[in-house]
Amino acid sequence: MGFIVYLNGKFVPEEEAKVSVFDHGFLYGDGVFEGIRAYHGCIFKLQEHIRRLYDSAKAINLEISLTQEEMMEIVKETCRKNNLKDSYIRLIVSRGKGDLGLDPRKCANPSIICIAASISLYPPELYQTGLSVITVPTRRNIAEGVNPRIKSLNYLNNIMARMEATLAGVEEAILLTQEGYVAECTGDNIFMVRDGVIKTPAIHLGMLEGVTRNSVIELAKKRGIVVEETVLTRFDFFTADECWLTGTAAELIPVVNIDGRPIGSGKPGPMFAALLEDYREVVKHEGSQI
Ligand code: PXG
């Protein structure tokens, strides 16, 4: 059975959920989105995701006529309509239908789409064995171009990096900033541990401020672990005791090899294991009831 999709004020079967070929989201990647997850009928960090969506929209001068409360209700209603307790939710706001020119003023109404689908999880064994990743030649977008803090519909930067990782035979890519500092992976933020201190790249270097990243920082601090948001190089990661990635889909996933160097013991570390357990506990009962 197909999914029921929210499209511009209506709930329609997925076959009928169509947008115009003149939609600037399609023509130019002109729009923003969110990837949200529901666990056991609870949507995790819904308010944070909606806030980030509105911040992204604000940054590209895209005015959303709905309030953040109304948008949260749409997300919940989409989950209810699909009778999904565990799901991956994709919320999209594009500039809307315009003409073939770039001018966003020609787009009268943004297109608002909410999809709640079943989630395809990473194979469980990856959480035991860990990922091998490489740094790729493609650099993360510069803030003065398309600011990586905007979760925009243009993911070519990330897709190019992901292709480079795939061609090299690994699962993920580390993107560096223009200056050569570690930024993030293609759809996940990155963490490391050295001498009991957790470190992760500071947001102002140019990356997406992950909701999962912020949750993990909070959980680590609750455990009394020092967390530094700082400037990190490949050297820092090569010589780390542990490394993992964070994202809505992946949760926390361990990295055991970077550019051919085994990280720490070459196996997922104890800090990773503890924080994954904390995270999986917190998603069970925190969150907005569907
Ligand atoms: N960085 C980037 C560039 C992302 O796109 C994250 C970090 C993690 O953010 P959250 O808020 O989820 O902790 C993301 C988000 C996918 C997929 O299908 C993943 C994302 C976006 C789009 C698709 O793997 N991750």
Question: Tell me: the pLDDT tens digits for 261-279?
Answer: 999 999 999 999 999 999 9
d(CA 106, ligand 1 centre) in Å: 30
Pocket (CB within 6 angstroms of ligand 1): 35, 158, 184, 187-189, 208, 210-213, 246-249
Q: Which residues contact 45 (CB under 8 A, 6 or more apart)?
A: 36, 211, 215, 286, 287
Domains present along the chain, CATH in parentheses: 4-117 (3.30.470.10), 126-282 (3.20.10.10)
pLDDT given at position 32: 99
Residue 99: C-alpha distances to residues 58, 62, 96, 171 (Å): 22, 17, 10, 39
pLDDT given at position 1: 67
Beta-bridged to residue 255, according to DSSP, are 131
pLDDT digits over 198-231, tens only?
A: 999 999 999 999 999 999 999 999 999 999 999 9
Q: In this structure, which residue's CA is closest to atom 16 in ligand 1?
A: 187
pLDDT given at position 149: 98
Q: Which member of 45, 97, 151, 199 is catalytic?
A: 151
pLDDT given at position 247: 98
Residue 49: C-alpha distances to residues 23, 32, 90, 262 (Å): 24, 12, 11, 34
Instruction: Give yes or no for a contact between 163 and 209, defined as CB atoms under 8 angstroms apart.
Output: no
d(CA 93, CA 83): 23
d(CA 127, CA 242): 13
* C-alpha 79: how far from chain center: 19
d(CA 249, ligand 1 centre) in Å: 8
Q: How many helices (H) and strands (E) does the chain have?
A: 8, 16
pLDDT digits over 229-258, tens only?
A: 999 999 999 999 999 999 999 999 999 999
The answer to whether 151 is a known catalytic residue is: yes
d(CA 37, ligand 1 centre) in Å: 11
d(CA 108, CA 63): 11
pLDDT digits over 112-163, tens only?
A: 999 999 988 889 999 999 999 999 999 999 999 999 999 999 999 999 999 9
